[in-house]
């Protein structure tokens, strides 16, 4: 597990070793971090001070044991990619239109969402959404608001009506069911 930090003197990315237990105390020490990789580390929660990583662009949290996210994660205004697949999430914090405004990639696959999180429609620049492997059956009509979406990976469990509706989202170049 490591964090990649921008080294101002060399303008390069250097890996910084970090254990998940020390993440909360390390956040304040890494204000210039652009990428955090914490995959498959049995993490059950994120520190609420994660929003102090103002330059964070990529946050990889797949394969942990997260059941919820702190609302502070929504304040990561530079975030472009967020992977939360293979966790135990059932819901997301409420997303306002001005939050996560640069997010282009969101991985929510293989969690426990019983319905499509409609607040995702506030993510106007979202291009890739992976949400397969969740037990929901329907898609909200508000998904049409994701006009920049080009890749959508959905659960096989969708109803026939929802799959028919998904075919109408003709601006999305790739729609797959897993």
In-domain check, residue 99: no
89 and 133 assigned to the same domain: no
- Cβ-contact 2, 16 below 8 angstroms: yes
Sign of CA dihedral 122, 123, 129, 132: negative
48 and 73 assigned to the same domain: yes
Q: Which residues constitute the domain of residue 76?
A: 1-93
The number of domains in the chain is 2
In-domain check, residue 1: yes
In-domain check, residue 29: yes
Tens-binned pLDDT, residue by residue, of the chain (178 aa):
445 544 433 333 334 444 555 677 778 777 788 999 989 988 888 999 999 999 999 999 999 999 999 999 999 999 999 999 999 999 999 999 999 999 999 999 999 999 999 999 999 999 999 999 999 999 999 999 999 999 999 999 999 999 999 999 999 999 999 9
Helix (H), strand (E), coil (C) string for 113-153: CCCCCHHHHHCCCCCEEECCCCCCCCCCHHHHHCCCCCEEE
17 and 67 assigned to the same domain: yes
CATH no. for residue 47?
Answer: 3.80.10.10
pLDDT of res. 14 = 39
């Amino acid at each position: 597990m490591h964090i990649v930090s921008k080294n101002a003197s060399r303008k390069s990315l250097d890996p910084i070793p970090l254990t998940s237990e020390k993440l909360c105390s390390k956040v304040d020490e890494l204000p210039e971090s652009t990428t955090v990789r914490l995959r498959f580390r049995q993490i059950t929660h994120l520190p609420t001070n994660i929003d102090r990583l103002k330059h964070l662009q990529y946050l990889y949290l797949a394969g942990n044991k997260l059941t919820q996210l702190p609302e502070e994660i929504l304040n990561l205004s530079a975030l472009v990619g967020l992977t939360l697949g293979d966790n135990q999430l059932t819901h997301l914090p409420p997303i306002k239109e001005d939050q996560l405004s640069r997010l282009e990639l969101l991985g929510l696959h293989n969690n426990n969402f019983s319905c499509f999180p409609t607040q995702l429609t506030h993510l106007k620049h979202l291009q890739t959404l992976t949400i397969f492997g969740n037990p929901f059956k329907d898609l909200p009509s508000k998904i049409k608001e994701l006009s920049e979406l080009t890749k959508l990976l959905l659960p096989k469990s969708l109803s026939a009506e929802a799959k028919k509706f998904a075919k109408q989202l003709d601006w999305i170049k790739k729609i797959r069911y897993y």
